[in-house]
Amino acid sequence: MDKILRIDMGAEGGPKATTVPTGEYSGLGGRALTSAIVSKEIPPACHPLSAENKLIIAPGLLSGTTSAMSGRISVGSKSPLTGGIKESNAGGQPSQVLARLGYAAIVLEGKPKGDDIYKIFINKDGITITPDNSLKMLGNYSVVEKMKAEHGHKIACISVGQAGEMRLLAASIAFTDTELRPTRHAGRGGTGAVMGSKGVKIIVLDDTGTTMRQPKDPNKFKEANKKWIAGLQSHGVTGQALPTYGTNVLTNIINEAGGYPTYNFKEGRFAGAVKISGEVEADLETKRGGLATHGCHRGCVIRCSGIYNDKDGHYLTKQPEYETVWAHGGECGIDDMDTIAMLDFLEDDIGLDTIETGVTIGVTMEAGLLKFGDGEGAINLVREIGKGSPLGRIIGSGAAVTGKVFGVERVPVVKGQALPAYDPRAVQGIGVTYATSPMGADHTAGYAVATNILGVGGTVDPLKPGGQVQLSRNLQIATAFIDSMGMCIFTAFAILDQPETFQALLDLVNACHGLEMTAADTVEYGKRVLKMERDFNARAGFTKEQDRLPSFFRSQPVGPHNVTFEVNDEELDQVFNW
């Protein structure tokens, strides 16, 4: 991965591809690379849908190797949703394929002058960019099917649905999984709108004729990978809970803890949670001939995904993840798994962030447009987004916009991005991450739930402010490093509890790249990433006032613990004072 593919979609005479050395970006991968390019090359004050913005797609430093869990990919740009820097992370096959093709990143630049939409084909022989208006306003599933008919089944695809073409703020970018289905999404921040603004409908990757990336020290790498896998499989979360029930194993846990946001963050427990729990979901999948355990990319040993079939045993969608189940479940008061699965399918097809969309529907319910629990109404709203109707465009623009349009006071967003599935009043550490992450409300930026609720990496009382700032700070630093390696964030559970597993990760990186990185070096690496991200946001006009939760989290207690968010502003301002 010693080259960057730059594609100028606004070049004179039509889109033009240029391959350049990584140069000053050498040694950076995944999130570190996307954030470095965004920070250095994109004018912070530019309009996110203008030609000045860029879309960067980058595999991690370990992607394309035989290392387990190294198939995550980072997408970076200035966010249309937050107005700040964005790194959105996804699984699926494209990261491994892109890395084996030798690219550290694809950078989409400029903007076409006409209204044509384009497909980009990349293999070992080069790059082809062609207009294909037959793809206009197709969903992700249909687009991928057309590419399979043209290029066969040994490809990986990166695409946008109707939401991306319409440049809606909740638009995601789809990445195909091992079955070549567009089920893995870089969902957060509206990156799909940026891809749509570049006129790119789909990028098709074919690594036929390539080989796995070879480490500098093959023997050390092989031994480290064995220890890495052993550590992941021996941990209670990564080796037992997630592989058995998927991420939705958290529903009963978070609901019991009183941190399950219900009815647009009005309550902390949902009476219908048991009906949509991971245990129920896995049982349903198995009975219908689906899969309760499944890897989203090759080399995944945690296998926390699955395949969800309908009542007749036909494929409907991938296993709805915890965040997706919550966003349409507790948040909207819906307790029917088939309804939630249909919403998941529609949003994957249209190309929407399931968190942003679910929270937005909850806001419309708060406004009285629908009643809480109206599953059919929720499905109809999502279909409106796909149609591009005026109402659909409002909903597809996210919770902050929808809240303003319908006059809702309680809108759970930070920096314009909807909060995920943990109430910050009952899980105070994640509240610090929501408030201060450069990305806007994002649980994956520093997953304090691990320590607050699951007791991973120690314990910090979730209901009290003490220790939350340090917890979030440390996790945000660690996560920036993990994202840059192309590693799944769930590996952090084992890393936090098992020093030998953390050492195995270091050994993988060092053996792959011929480095001598220490634990202290990983901290500095993570800090460097966060500094770049915060610097961009500051130049874009962000101040400490954007590092805050909505005021209702301090004024409105949530049951059953009847607590408010108690980490004060002065403490929040210390998160990045390292």
pLDDT digits (tens, 9 = 90+) for 506-558: 999 999 999 999 999 999 999 999 999 999 999 999 999 999 999 999 999 99
Backbone dihedral region of 102: left (phi > 0), alpha (psi from -120 to 50 degrees) or beta? left
Among 422, 477, 488, smallest CA distance to 450 is for 422
How far apart, in whole angstroms, are the C-alpha atoms of residue 438 and residue 86?
Answer: 8
Quick one: pLDDT at residue 512? Answer: 97
Residue from 117, 72, 160 nearest 444 by CA: 72
pTM: 0.97
Q: Which two tokens stand for residue 186?
A: 């870089």
The partner residues of 158 in beta bridges, in order of sequence, read 175, 203
If phi > 0 it is left, if psi is from -120 to 50 it is alpha, else beta; for residue 368 that is left
Nearest-CA neighbor of 205 among 96, 115, 348, 329? 96
The rounded percent of the chain whose pLDDT value lies above 90 is 98
Is the bond into 243 cis (omega within 30 degrees of 0)?
A: no
pLDDT for 295? 87
State residue 296's pLDDT score: 84
DSSP 464: S
pLDDT for 492: 94
460/462 Cα distance (integer angstroms):
6
CATH-assigned architecture of domain 248-415: Orthogonal Bundle (1.10)
Residue from 355, 284, 362 nearest 321 by CA: 355
What pLDDT, on a 0 to 100 scale, did the predictor assign at position 419?
98
Residue 301: burial class (beta carbons within 10 Å; 0-12, 13-18, 19+): middle
Give the list of residues 6+ apart from residue 505 with CB closer than 8 angstroms, or none: 224, 228, 485, 487, 491, 495
d(Cα 106, Cα 122) in Å, to the nearest integer? 11
Alpha carbons 560 and 507: distance in angstroms, whole number:
45
pLDDT of residue 299: 85
Q: What does the alpha-carbon distance between residue 556 and residue 424 come to, in Å, rounded to a whole number?
A: 12
> For residue range 1-30, what is the model confidence (pLDDT) as tens digits?
799 999 999 999 999 999 999 999 999 999
| Domain segments of the chain as ranges | 3-205, 248-415
Q: Which residues of the chain, if any, have pLDDT below 50?
A: none
Compute φ and ψ for 462, nearest 5 degrees: -70, -20
DSSP characters for 220-274? HHHHHHHHHHHHHHHSHIIIIIHHHH-GGGHHHHHHHTT---BTTTTBS--TTGG
Here the tokens at position 267 are 């309550």
- The neighbour count for residue 279, using CB atoms within 10 Å, is 15
Cα 299 to chain center, whole Å? 19
How far does Cα 49 stand from its chain's mean position? Answer: 20
* Fold designation for 3-205: Aldehyde Ferredoxin Oxidoreductase;  A, domain 1 (3.60.9)
Q: How far is CA 519 from the centre of its chain?
A: 26
